[in-house]
Every structure is written in C-alpha cells, then in structure tokens.
Structure 1
Amino acid sequence: MITTKSRNLDTPITIGSTEFRNRLIVAPMQQYKGSPQGYATEHHIQHYARIAKGVGFLIVESTAVSANGRLVPNDIGIYSDRHIDPLKRVTAAVHDQQTPIFVQLSHGGRKSAPEVTQRLIAPSAIPYDDFYGTPAELSVSDIEALIEDYRLAARRSIEAGFDGIELHAAHGFLIHQFLSPLSNHRSDAYGGTPQGRAKLLRDTLAAIRSETGPHYPVIVRVSATDYAEGGLNPQELALMLKPLAADGLLDAVDVSSGGLLPVQPADTHPGYQLPAAAIMKQHLHVPVIAVGKIYTRSFADQIIADGLADAVAIGRPLLEDPDYAQAMIGLQA
C-alpha cells in the first residue's frame, strides 16, 4: 500500500477511471501559432510532441469552443468539425511519445479578443477594462446556446483523439466570470448565490459528460482567488465545486489564481498558489493539481509527500527547454 508520505512525482495517479504513469503534468500554455481560422499547425505538432516525453499527461493550450470566444486572434479552436483533423495530428504525435493528451476547452467571455469578436458577452454588463469594452449580458437562451457549444466541442475532442478534457474556468474567462460575485451580478438561476454562480459550470460539465460518459477524465481549471475584496477565495470555491465532484461531473481540479481583474498578486514566489491548492484539497475528494513556479524535483516531491496536492503542473520552463520535464522526472528525489 502506498502511503501519502511515500508518494512522489513518480507515483502513478488515477484521475476518474484512468491511471497515469506519474504526477508531473504539462500545464496549458498559449502558443500564439494558430491559423486565422483557428486551426492547429505544424508548430503544435512539433512542440507538443517534444515536450510530452516522460510526463503523466499533457494539456494543450486554450482551445476555443466558439469563434466568438477566442482569447487571442491566433488561438486554436474546436468550434467546427473542420478543426478535428488538424488536432488529430497533434494528438497522434503526442501518443507516439506514449503520453496521454488533454484538450483545454475555453471561452473568453468579456476577455475575448476584440480583433475577432463580433459580440462581447458576459454574465453581467461589467467591463474587464477599457481595452475590451463593456460586454452584453447573456440571456438564458444565450447561455443555453453556449452550453451546446461546449457539448459539441467535447464530441469533437473525442473524435480528435484527446484522452481527457480540462474545462477552463480560470483566469477571468467566461466560466470564471460566472463563478465570481465581482463579475456576476445576475439575479436569475445563474447568479445570486454561490450555487447559482456555479450553475453554468455544472450545466456545462453535465453537457460534456453527456458526450464523454462517466469514465472519461474531465478536470476543471479554476482561479482560487480574485486577489480582491469580495471576490472568490479558495474555501468558497471549494464548497462550490464539492457537489459537482460528488455528482461525478469532475474528476480533478487544477488550481491557479487571478485574471478576473487587471490586478496582479503582490508576491509570486515559488509555489505561491500552493496554499490555495492545499485548502481546496482539504474540502475535495478528487485529485488536486498544484501549479505556479514549482520547478524543482525536490519541491514537487515534498508537495506530494506532504499531501498539499496530488500532482504538479509545470509550464514556462518548457518554453525555454523542451526537455525540462523529462529531466525533472529523471532526477532522483
């Protein structure tokens, strides 16, 4: 039997019904290399195949579920069947490294790229800043149409060969905008209470599950704090997620922070987001993934051994050194 103290980065982890070979995950990182139509390119094939070696699994960059919800003009997308074949070439290249690959499904909401957004939308007509401008408040029928976009994106994700889905509910994008009381001032079923603010997340996960079934890994990336008074905090967010996990809608939580407002954390030391992950782990009975300047093998092993998180995701070092993760796995604790 593996005890908590004997676990380290090399210990296999089960998320949903799938076991992964170790607990080092490649975090999603924008590549800014999509075609004008949102297609993955040769860059994505080469980049993801290179950084995939040795890790437990890899999460690709934000992948738009709507042409109207791209985070940047050169995002990749999954909002039409034409996006499937280019993504298939990416998943095949990563599978050649014997590594599973997840897609990150996203919609920018009020932070969608102005250059390619015909109608800026959000839970409430509250702007992020002057650059993006004031969004239109979504009607219930608008919300239902968006949920359908996510459902179809999940279907395409499976067809494209992805082994799991990460739903992007962090960094100030659409689902995060619904979760936070600072950006969601609605008084209908999609606002008001924590349960109401979590309804879009619940309904979207249920739509995704209608395509994936219960055994396909579905995880959620969240911002555990808005770095502002009256915003989300780790304990409140954990309590919002707990019933979703209990109902089998999500299999793990990837804990980041910020992005809802144009403010930055005062301190970004190594592991600065770890306390939020640890708080969420106290409340949730699904694996918790920590991210945020966790760049050494010894630090990652200590986090896992101490039970502060169940897995560690790294991103930026791989942009400078594509073999960084492989070296990290190869080091001794």
Structure 2
Amino acid sequence: MSALFEPYTLRSLTIPNRVWMPPMCQYSADTSGPGTGAANDWHFSHYTARAAGGTGLVIVEATAVSPEGRISPADLGIWNDTQAASLRRITDFLKGQGTVAGIQLAHAGRKASTDRPWNGGGPVGAEQGGWQPVAPSALPFEEGHHVPAELTAPEIKHIVAQFADAARRALDAGFEVAEIHGAHGYLLGEFLSPHSNHRTDEYGGSFENRVRFTLEVVDAVRSVWPEELPLFFRISATDWLDEGGWTPDDTVRLAPLLKEHGVDLLDVSSGGNAARVRIPAGPGYQVPFAARVKAETSLPVAAVGMITETEQAEKILSNGEADAVLLGRELLRNPSWARLAARELGSDVHVPQQYHRSV
C-alpha cells in the first residue's frame, strides 16, 4: 500500500487515507431570515462530491462561531441549532461513503464584514448586511478596511465560550473532527502575531501572552469535544514579514503547547495576516513549514500548498515531511482526485457502487 492510501488513526478515529480536503469558504450560505448562515444544496453537492471521489477526510469550510465571526454575510455559521441541523445531511452522506466529516470553527476578527470574493471582497457596511469587526487591537487589515473595535478582556472570554458552544453543536451535527482556525489573519492568528496584536494586557506583548487566547480556546473546545475524537489546529506558520510578525520559530515553539492542551494535529498553512506581502508560491511551497514542525516536535502535521500531483503527494508522506496532505484547489478542479491517484499507485479507495464502471 502507498503512504498516501494508508489509513491514519488519531485517538480512536481512523481516517481511511491521507488525501484530505481542507476548509475552503464557499460564501454561499443563506443570508436572511431564520436560515441565515445555514448550509444549503450547494454545500451538500460540493462536499458530497469529494466524498464520492474517495477523499478520506472532508473538512467543512470556516464556520463562524458567532454572527460577528463571519468573513462575509454569506458565510456558514454554527452559533444556533438551525445551522447545526442544516449540516447533518452532509455529515450523514459523508459517513455513508466512508469519509470522515470534519469542520473548521472560526472567527474572522478584523477581516470580518467583507463581501464575497467575486464581488471584490471589500468591506461592507450595515446597509449591505455588514457589522463592526473586532480584533485584539484597533488596527485595520489594510487601508480602506474596517477599523476593528479592540476586544475587552470580558469580550475575549465570551468568544472563548462561543467556540465551546460551536463545538458542542458540531458534535451534535455529526462531525468527528473539529479544527480550530488560527491561520490566515483571522482572530486567533491576529492575537498570535505582534504585527496585529499591540495589546499591553495579559493577551499582548510577550509570546506567552499572545498565545494565551489560543490556548484558552483550545481548552474550551477540548473540554466539550469527546476524548476519543481528534482536535486539529490550523496555523499560518509565518506572516511572510521580514520583522515584526509571526515566524516559523514561533510555530515550532507553539506546537508542543498545543499538544499539551489536547490538539492532535497541526494543519500548517501560511500568510494572510499582513496585506500585500510577497509570498514565493510554487508547487509544495508550504510543505517545508509542516516538515519542520514534524522534525522538531512530536505533534503530527498535515501539509498544504499547491499539492497537485500523485507522485508529489506520495513523496511528501513517504519522505516523512507530513502525516497527511490537504488538496484545496486541486479538489475543486477534480472531486475524484483520490480515486485517480489510487489507480496510479495501485491502491484501493472507496468507490460508490454507482461509479464502479469508472474503475
């Protein structure tokens, strides 16, 4: 069996292969009435197609823990039971195909209240369904974006509780993996980085203070997430800044703390917290960040970043650079990537009975 199609067990959960789908926002949730933030037919068809294609783990897109935590008015939410119920149809189908259902719990912080990307992605006001974003410090993401309100200590505690409530609902909705979103310049990542966190209280300044909110969220989610099920954390390994930002050294330093607090795997991405930085994107460009965490800590890792080819993905795993790979844009292009890769490698993967003629 190839490394790519070897099952992977975390706690008591076994994921059938190492081809995973990362969270990718669809900006297609309902935007009005009691169904605001709920999943609909688009989400069902989108996620179930990848399960039918043999993907071992599908992580549902960044799902907001509060209305203010959405990136856009069209984001998925999980702050109420109606939203959670809308996701059950998806998790039931995924499980029926042997795919593990995961969800990313998120708060957009200062990057909230923006439009859909295909509408330009700029900030939206109240007349367009927007709201006042919040952040560790009153610093906009870039010129022209909302100036966020600086969170008070009680407000921070309230958001920690919202993450725990969201995790409870995710469990009720049938998810077996929860991922906390600490990457791409959203709220937790904003607290981690000195670029966006200029606080002088117990949540700012030193490394220990800047990671405090993250660890409080992890503790809150872990306290309600079953002991037998895994918890992931997604991180941007670097802000891609020459100075004054979050660095790969910081990521390696944080990883053991996350593990001590109950995180089972680090989903390693990069960027998103500083506007207009130069990122040397290319095939596998983020894999070295995951590889370093794996080499220098005992926390399992998943690698991302322009992983598109079967041989490329197989080598990442067989070389010990990561424990799994997450294919984003490639799975948007080809929902059956896992099935085709298994054929190339002479491995087995789940194929729906209806698709057996394609084998």
Please state which band the TM-score falls in when normalised by the shorter chain.
Answer: over 0.9
**In 2, Cα distance between the equivalents of 1:56 and 1:141?**
40
**In 2, Cα distance between the equivalents of 1:327 and 1:113?**
39
5+ long unaligned stretches in structure 1: 1-5
| Contact 1:32/1:75, CA 8 A, preserved across alignment | yes
Shift of 1:118: 2.5
User: RMSD across aligned C-alpha pairs, in angstroms?
Assistant: 1.5
- Residue in 1 that maps onto 2:191: 178
1:231 and 2:245 correspond: yes
TM-score if structure 1 supplies the norm length?
A: 0.94
| Contact 1:278/1:309, CA 8 A, preserved across alignment | yes
Greater displacement, 142-151 / 128-137: 128-137
- Residue in 2 that maps onto 1:288: 301
**In 1, Cα distance between the equivalents of 2:322 and 2:333?**
26
**In 1, Cα distance between the equivalents of 2:86 and 2:71?**
19
| Contact 1:78/1:153, CA 8 A, preserved across alignment | yes
1:28 and 2:42 correspond: no
Same amino acid, percent of matched pairs: 39
Shift of 1:137: 0.9
What amino acid maps onto 2:157 in structure 1? E
Q: Flag as ranges the 4+ runs of structure 1 deviating above 6 A.
A: none
5+ long unaligned stretches in structure 2: 115-123, 347-359
- Residue in 2 that maps onto 1:332: 345
DSSP-derived class of the 2:345 partner: coil
What amino acid maps onto 1:298 in structure 2? E
| Contact 1:15/1:287, CA 8 A, preserved across alignment | no
Q: How many residues align?
A: 327
Greater displacement, 176-185 / 238-247: 238-247
What amino acid maps onto 1:34 in structure 2? A
Shift of 1:284: 2.4
| Contact 2:16/2:98, CA 8 A, preserved across alignment | no
Shift of 1:286: 2.2
Shift of 1:231: 1.1
What amino acid maps onto 2:141 in structure 1? Y
**In 1, Cα distance between the equivalents of 2:276 and 2:133?**
21
| Contact 2:5/2:17, CA 8 A, preserved across alignment | yes
| Contact 1:225/1:231, CA 8 A, preserved across alignment | yes
Aligned ranges 1:115-194 → 2 under 5 Å: 115=124, 116-194=129-207
Render the CA deviation track for 1:111-148: whole Å, top value 9, x for unaligned.
00243442211011111113322111111000011011
Aligned ranges 1:207-222 → 2 under 5 Å: 207-222=220-235
**In 1, Cα distance between the equivalents of 2:168 and 2:8?**
25
- Residue in 1 that maps onto 2:269: 256
**In 1, Cα distance between the equivalents of 2:2 and 2:202?**
42
What amino acid maps onto 2:253 in structure 1? L
- Residue in 2 that maps onto 1:91: 91
What amino acid maps onto 2:20 in structure 1? I
Shift of 1:18: 1.8
